[in-house]
Structure 1
């Protein structure tokens, strides 16, 4: 199962949102604790589908929830033009859904160097944004496994839509290694498995240095050789040896061939398995009229892959440590 229609649960889900504090950033720990309690009361079928995805993923590498409760467009404020969000901003329905669904999966996590360490991110177009930033719009945001270079890489990237782009052109592209693996020759799989390769990092993690170079090492394949995890970034992975360059090229081609497009509309939430996929976003044209595309993003860590050591809480903010 890849797509779940949640419209039949609308009244139930709206009821769960009323149990949450209505100014989430005033006490984010308390808000996410309340979201965790509400997550236990999700509709049975929806909760089971989330639990199954959390336990073993799926072939596509993502789960799309459609028909979640969302405000009418006229009831939303203007799409943000700055970050982070004001502390006193009232709770929005898609933020509530990210809280509840996210807590069913694991722990919301902020990254100190990213968006001032905020846990909830507004994703919106911004003029002159860096080409590696989610705030780009009119250029392709290339395929990347989110923070593949970070020791505490999130298990899930969750994106929820309050407002689509005007022309409904923007698409989130997802490529799953489970789909791509049959297209990769055995010798290339063997070469990529547990093979550390130099990797640069996003601007936020460069410590103010314009170009610190490849300060991390990322293994394109690791874990179970028959069902490997993926570490990939088209812009930042920087193999040097000719054999590595060729192997990554074969991997890149396979990932392109299995790419799926997800066009988010208001009330949609996509949950991306960040250890088995790479994702991208296609270009779109903002109008700068207060009604541009507006997504909400959170990162979730679980106890798989060494991402938790014990004692963490939903809402914790972690420091950068590059993979080696």
Structure 2
């Protein structure tokens, strides 16, 4: 099952969260080390589910956990309007869930150039946000494999919801290569297989240059030929050869055809397999009233795909090296 009701675990999860340090950012490495210890104590049914997803994934490319402990609306602070979060902000329940669930999967990672190298990100609407930013709201955030252009690309993107948008219109769209690949002919698969295509990078990784061009090389299909990884970004992938353009277009159409929407509500945690999916977000309308949509995001690396060369700790911050 892709979305799992966790309300039956709520009492146990609340008790685990209460054993975490109250101020996570005061000593983040220590906080995540403690989260790793508690992750081993997750209820058996939930822990096994996470272990199985970590080992082999699933056809949809994501796992949703619903009904996790979440702060009551009247106990939440206003939705943030700036980043990063204050160092002294007390732990929120959905951050606790991201910590414990994330540590069951792997190691939380910060990216030096992104959000000042912070590990826990607040995701909220912001006026006049760049169209490639997660802070957009009233335009579609296009399909992208998170940091597909980064040598240390995260294996998982975790999104947890403290507040939904007012109309509950916003949907995270997920498209899985395991579902899309049968829709791509062998000819086009062969064209895209293990072939680095020119790719631009997100604004945070451009080194202050307005547009440095396609400084990375991203392989749309790679890994195990029978169960490939996906590297895809609708805005940034920039093939120049007409045959590459055509092949990427076929892949893009296949991904559209298998897209599944996930609407996050408070208490939801979404785990995206970032090596086998691409994701997007549909538009919504903020009210700028302190109660707009508020998600929390972390990136998790595991040994899969060579993303942990050795000696890492949860909470480490890495620097940008483009794929080539």
The answer to whether TM tops 0.5 is yes
Deviation, structure 1 residue 284: 0.1
SS in 1 for 2:323: coil
- Residue 290 (structure 2) pairs with residue 286 (structure 1): no
Match of 1:125 in 2: 125
Match of 1:139 in 2: 139
What SS is found at the alignment partner of 2:229?
Answer: strand
The SS at the match of 1:207 is coil
Structure 1 consecutive aligned stretches of length 4 or more whose deviation exceeds 4 Å: none
Q: Unaligned 5+ residue runs, structure 2?
A: none
- State how 1:1-324 maps to structure 2 within 5 Å: 1-324=1-324
Give 1:4 shift: 1.0
- Tell me the distance in 2 between the aligned counterparts of 1:210 and 1:61: 33
Secondary structure of 1:228's counterpart equals strand
SS of aligned partner of 1:297: strand
1:188 counterpart SS class: helix
Matched residues in 1 for 2:286 and 2:261: separation?
20
> SS at the partner of 2:14?
helix
2:279 and 2:271 map into 1 onto residues whose CA distance is 11
Pairwise CA RMSD: 0.4
Q: Distance in 2 between matches of 1:15 and 1:180?
A: 41
Equivalent pairs counted in the alignment come to: 324
Cα distance in 2 for residues equivalent to 1:39 and 1:196: 37
What SS is found at the alignment partner of 1:280?
strand
Deviation at 1:74, TM superposition (A): 1.0
* Cα shift readout 1:278-319 (whole Å, capped 9, x = no counterpart): 000000000000000000000000011010011100000000
Segments of structure 1 that go 5 or more residues without pairing to the other structure are: none
Determine the C-alpha separation between the residues in 2 that align with 1:202 and 1:3: 30
Instruction: Tell me, in whole angstroms, the C-alpha distance in 2 between the residues paired with 1:185 and 1:148.
Output: 23
Partner of 1:63: helix, strand, or coil?
strand
The whole-number CA distance in structure 1 between the counterparts of 2:150 and 2:134 is 18
Distance 1:193 1:309 in 2: 24
Quote the offset at 1:226 in angstroms.
1.2
Secondary structure of 1:323's aligned partner? coil
Inter-partner Cα distance in structure 2 for 1:36 and 1:4: 22
Query: What CA distance in whole angstroms lies between the structure 1 residues aligned with 2:188 and 2:6?
Result: 41
Give the whole-Å Cα distance in 1 for the aligned partners of 2:42 and 2:226: 34
* Aligned equivalents of 1:56, 1:98: Cα separation in 2: 20
SS of residue in 2 equivalent to 1:283? coil
